[in-house]
Amino acid sequence: MSVTKQRDALKLLERTGDFPWYVEKYIEHKKAKRSSPSTLLGYLRDFEYFFRWLMAESLTRAKTIKEIELHELNDLTKETVESYIIYLRESHLSERAVLLDRPTRSAKREYSDKTITRKISSLKSLFHYLSALSEDENGESYLSRNVMAKIELAEEEITPLARAHAIRSKILVDQEIHRFVDFVYHGYQAFCDTKRKLEYHNLNRERDTAIIALILSGGFRVSEIVNLNLSDIILEKNQLKMVRKGKKEDAPFFSDWGKEYLVNYLNMRDKYKPADGEEAVFLAVAPTKPYGHRIEVRTVQKLVKKYAKAFGIPHLSVHKLRHSFATQFLRINPDPHQLQAQLGHSKIETTMQYAHVLDDALSIAVNRTTQK
């Protein structure tokens, strides 16, 4: 198990204890189906938000989430659940305020339709388990009725072309890839408006540039980069050994261009003062820790957003760096099966979403049909 998954597994164990016994049973059920700890933590966040809403609306007698009884879920009406959906769509109550049980008002809507759909889907999964897949000592399901089965979610149909257009507007293309990496290393200093920010950037710019360049030169997932150990790097072959989704062992490649930034960082890695035997490639420092420790996924996500905002492309995320690589790869090497192997996709259909991103062939063909 990777370091990130170990950390998430420990956090999951800690968080599950805050929930009623039937949620713990659900989590055990999902574990048996090999759901990842990060996925299960996401479920718990969605359950917590719903349970706290029930408490705020006096729809339960419980004073804590753990005290919410099973029969209270069994007695929920369709109208109540629909009220929750309306609340998610129209309420100005922020999630942080609800989770802290300190309601405050803000002026903007908190959730997109996609996020709302995910939150309701999480509840549908829980209620389906409780009403159909669970079993008590008498062989009966925990719930006698499933109110969530009556809730319909509008499924947004999106074509490959529409998905490609959405990706295209939020990625780096051609020379933007190199300009962005160069900005991280050389240009961001101009945005450091305090001495402390400048010192922090100068400490981490080799690391940050290496992470971003490595993703852009190989299309790696952020978790794959964070979990890298020194022994996983095969510099002479430009390869990285890693365990991918589905626990698949793989050894994808990265470019010579990305290798330069990686080597530059490795030559300076000791300034993070790693402990003896520390194998993590990418390190971070903290005032409470005497040695450099493995960087966290959230830290990488935040640093990418920081640089992207300063660069002028605020929608760029760490996952969009992977999209950028995939799109550029197909533009230069039009072989989706090669890209599928590099990205570690199980299905070619997943890889093919990138085929239309920079493909103007359809536009040209349509234009030709109307030429005089």
For 132-171, the pLDDT digits (tens) are: 999 888 888 999 999 999 988 765 555 666 666 666 767 8
Confidence of residue 101 (pLDDT cuts 50, 70, 90): very low
Res. 367: pLDDT tops 70:
no
Res. 240: pLDDT tops 60:
yes
Q: How far apart are CA 228 and CA 211, in angstroms?
A: 11
Q: What is the pLDDT of residue 359?
A: 57
Q: What is the mean pLDDT of residues 232-241?
A: 95
3-state secondary structure of 33: coil
Q: How far apart are CA 188 and CA 347, in angstroms?
A: 38
Q: What is the pLDDT of residue 284?
A: 94
Can you count the helices (H) and strands (E) in the chain?
17, 6
Check: CB of residue 337 under 8 Å from CB of residue 348.
Answer: yes
Check: CB of residue 188 under 8 Å from CB of residue 307.
Answer: yes
Task: Provide, rounded to the nearest whole percent, the portion of the chain with pLDDT above 90.
Answer: 55
**Whole-Å CA distances, 249 to 1, 63, 107, 231, 372:** 12, 46, 47, 14, 56
344-359 burial: b if 16+ Cβ within 10 Å, else e:
bbeeeeebbbbbbbbb
Q: Whole-number mean pLDDT of the chain? A: 85
pLDDT tens track for 311-360: 998 888 898 999 899 988 988 888 889 999 999 888 888 788 777 665 55
Q: How far apart are CA 34 and CA 247, in angstroms?
A: 10
Q: How far apart are CA 147 and CA 117, in angstroms?
A: 16
Res. 364: pLDDT tops 60:
no
Q: How far apart are CA 61 and CA 50, in angstroms?
A: 15
Task: Provide, rounded to the nearest whole percent, the portion of the chain with pLDDT above 70.
Answer: 84
The Cβ of residue 310 has, within 10 Å, a number of other Cβ atoms equal to 16
Q: How far apart are CA 141 and CA 134, in angstroms?
A: 5
Q: Which residues contact 10 (CB under 8 A, 6 or more apart)?
A: none
pTM for the whole structure = 0.62
pLDDT tens track for 8-22: 888 999 899 999 999
pLDDT tens track for 105-130: 443 445 677 888 899 999 999 999 99
Tokens in use for 238? 């430009």
Question: Residue 354 — φ and ψ, nearest 5°?
Answer: -85, -10
The catalytic residue positions are: 221, 245, 319, 322, 345, 354
Check: CB of residue 224 under 8 Å from CB of residue 239.
Answer: no
Confidence of residue 100 (pLDDT cuts 50, 70, 90): very low
Q: What is the mean pLDDT of residues 83-106?
A: 57
All domains in the chain, ordered by first residue: 3-150 (no CATH), 163-364 (1.10.443.10)
Res. 202: pLDDT tops 50:
yes
Q: What is the pLDDT of residue 92?
A: 43
Tokens in use for 111? 């959730």
Q: Which of 181, 232, 228, 233 is nearest to 208 (CA)?
A: 181
Q: How far apart are CA 301 and CA 4, in angstroms?
A: 14
What are the DSSP calls for 93-117, one per residue?
B-HHHHHTT---B-SS----HHHHH
Q: Which of 318, 316, 327, 312 is nearest to 300 (CA)?
A: 318
Beta strands 239-240 and 233-234 are antiparallel
Amino acid occupying residue 227: N
Q: Between 96 and 156, whose confidence is greater?
A: 156
Q: What is the pLDDT of residue 102?
A: 43
Lowest mean pLDDT segment, chosen from 144-158, 210-224, 243-257: 144-158
